[in-house]
Chain A
Amino acid sequence: MDLSELQRDNTGRCRLSSPVPELCRQEPCALGVDEAGRGPVLGPMVYAICYCPVSRLGDLEALKVADSKTLSESERERLFEKMEKDRHFVGWALDVLSPNLISTSMLGRVKYNLNSLSHDTAAGLIQHALDQGVNVTQVFVDTVGPPDTYQQRLQQRFPGVEITVKAKADALYPVVSAASICAKVARDQAVKSWRFLEDLDHLDVDYGSGYPNDPKTKEWLRKQVEPVFGFPQFVRFSWRTAQSILEKEAQDVVWEDSVEEQEGARSITSYFSQSPCARPRLAHRFFLERGLEPASSL
């Protein structure tokens, strides 16, 4: 899997997709959606789709793309290679969402939470397959958040397609399990080859599974925290695990809007102007308009 685009810039999102098998343009296809890396506090989250003609679902199953959770990393990689070889009837695409994109979305002034980011990414990938001319007739998606609203939203967005949103979809539908394998292979590769923007000397990359409850990951985070900058962008700053370490170990930073909330309302009398003699003569508007005042000390 060629993640060189992610290597160039791992602060946003990047999309990879296989060529579209000609068969998938002609025959009605089933498409599965799944993600990898939703829970970890480190690294990217990957959304993937996998599709093949409904008539060939048996062949896809024959690839033994059983429930991807039961497969080891190397088995997933081997299966992915097999799917690549069968690219005359299997296609895939994926979006790698960087930890920076996740953090800045969730912590932005206008909150864009993980569920919305996930839903939009899944819908974006389905749209991508349609735009590439894949004849999608059925879509199977693993649930993220409440299944009904998700199902309705996707059905509204893609009226001509039969949408099924179900828990544990990757154990029920081979296309979802295949999508899950694509997502996991991409995430594993991305994490393994993560290029740290920050030139951290003696960086130990033994950060465990990346899951918040993994002691190794927690230890790594504690070692990495920097009082002013927090963490490398490999870390999802919006994760509770990361935030609690920042609250303990990092500098308090005061933003303009964070203070307004704290400042109580002024008493009404404070709006009445003081007696003219008490009020110091204001600097000329040339300076006021530019935020300039005489320096009284350094």
Chain B
Amino acid sequence: ARQHVFLLPEYLKDTSKKMKSGLMFVKLVNPCSGEGTLYLFDMCLLQLFEVKVFKEKHHSWFINQSVQSGGLLHFATPMDPLFLLLHYLIKADKEGTFQPLDQVVMDDMFPNCNLLLKLPELEKLLQHVTEEKEINNKKYYKYSKEKTLMWLEKKVNQTMTALKTNNINVSARVQSSAFFSGNQASSDKEEDYICYAHGLISDYIPKELSDDLSKH
């Protein structure tokens, strides 16, 4: 059987011990491209992880007493599930009405999207990007672009802080990070950081919203 090499956060190790199918690979929508992408879902902590793969041609692995062709290296990193919920809320927005969440998050292509409905503190999450109404103790949601842009603005700011603390090279000109001067932040303009952060966040939202965010 094919073997894979994964880099995972340490705490996920217990999950697979605690529950048999504690960690599940699921195919869900890619909120940027709309295509199917692989995610990892922690059924214990009910946490979503995106899976990126490092791929370079002509590589293989030695894994214990075996050799595995391909040499792919997979990374699972926590991802804010609201990006996925947003995809469905924007899609449902075309009807322009308030809807119950379980009718919004439906997808014949990716039926496992219903896992998103199990997320803890879902209502709190949704407040960032929707207007809601409560009728007979049932909540109905409607996508709010204004609120979403405010939420994404927070995301961009958080990302900018992370880029600075991690000394990520954001300058437009191509530069080898090997020759970086120590005081990176000063040499890069604040605007470079905003553009870079916007670009990074835009990998998780549809093109149209990315343009709106850019204007915002």
Give 8 pairs: A residue, B residue, CB < 8 Å, sorted on A: A254-B58, A256-B58, A280-B33, A281-B207, A284-B202, A287-B52, A293-B52, A295-B52
Contact B55 A291 (CB under 8 A): yes
- Complex formed: what's the CA distance from A114 to B75 in Å? 46
Q: Are A285 and B207 in contact (CB under 8 A)?
A: no
CB within 8 A of B38: which of A255, A256, A283, A295? A295
For A258, give the chain B residue with the smallest CB separation. B58
A292 contacts the other chain (CB 8 A): yes
Q: Per-position contact with A for B149-186: 1 when CB-CB < 8 Å, else 0?
A: 00000000000000000001000000000000000000
Q: Does B190 contact A (CB under 8 A)?
A: no
Q: Which of B2, B54, B74 has the most CB of A within 10 A?
A: B54
> Which listed residue, B38, B56, B58, touches A294 by the CB 8 Å rule?
B38
User: Out of A259, A285, A294, which one reaches B30, CB within 8 Å?
Assistant: A294
Does B199 sit within 8 A of A, measured CB to CB? Answer: yes
**Is B53's CB under 8 angstroms from A293's CB?**
yes
Q: State in angstroms the CA–CA spacing of A284 and B38 once bound together.
A: 18
7 additional A-B pairs beyond A280-B33, A296-B36, beta carbons within 8 Å, are: A256-B57, A286-B196, A290-B54, A291-B55, A292-B53, A293-B55, A298-B38
Query: Digit string of B31-46 for contact with A (CB within 8 Å is 1, else 0)?
Result: 0110111100000000
Whole-angstrom CA separation of A259 from B54 in the bound complex: 20
Task: Give residues of chain A (240-298) contacting chain B, Cβ–Cβ below 8 Å.
Answer: 254-256, 259, 280-281, 283-287, 290-298
Find the A residue at minimum CB distance from B203: A284
**Can you name the residue of chain B whose Cβ is closest to the Cβ of A257?**
B58
Complex Cα–Cα for A297 and B202 (A): 22
Q: Which residue of A lies closest to B36 (CB)?
A: A296
Interface residue? B67 (CB, 8 A): yes
A-side contacts of B207, CB under 8 Å: 281
Most chain B beta-carbon neighbours within 10 Å: one of A281, A284, A291, A294? A294
Interface pairs A-B: 4 shortest CB-CB: A295-B51, A295-B53, A295-B38, A292-B52
Chain A positions within 8 Å of B35 at CB level = 296
Counting CB contacts under 8 A, is A191 at the interface?
Answer: no
Which residues of A lie under 8 Å from residue B2 when comparing CB positions?
A: 298
Considering the complex, give the chain B residue whose CB is closest to the CB of A297. Answer: B38
Contacts of B196 in A (CB 8 A): 286
User: Which of B179-201 touch A at CB < 8 Å?
Assistant: 196, 199-200
In the complex, whether A1 has a CB less than 8 A from a CB of chain B is no
Residues of A near B91 (CB, < 8 A) are none
B50 contacts partner chain A, Cβ-Cβ < 8 Å:
yes
Task: Tell whether, in the assembled complex, residue B202 and residue A291 are in contact, meaning their CB atoms are under 8 Å apart.
Answer: no
From residue A290, how far is it (CB to closest CB) to chain B in Å? 7
Contact B203 A292 (CB under 8 A): no
**B4 interfacial contact with A, CB 8 Å:** yes
Asked if residues A284 and B199 are in contact (CB atoms below 8 Å), the reply is yes
Q: Is A228 an interface residue (CB 8 A)?
A: yes
Which B residues lie within 8 Å of A296 (CB)? 35-38
Given contacts A294-B50, A295-B52, contact A287 B58 (CB under 8 A): no
Given the interface pairs A281-B32, A287-B52, the reply to whether A295 lies near B37 with Cβ below 8 Å is yes
Q: Which residue of the partner chain A has the closest CB to B75?
A: A292
CB pair B4–A294 under 8 Å, yes or no, is no
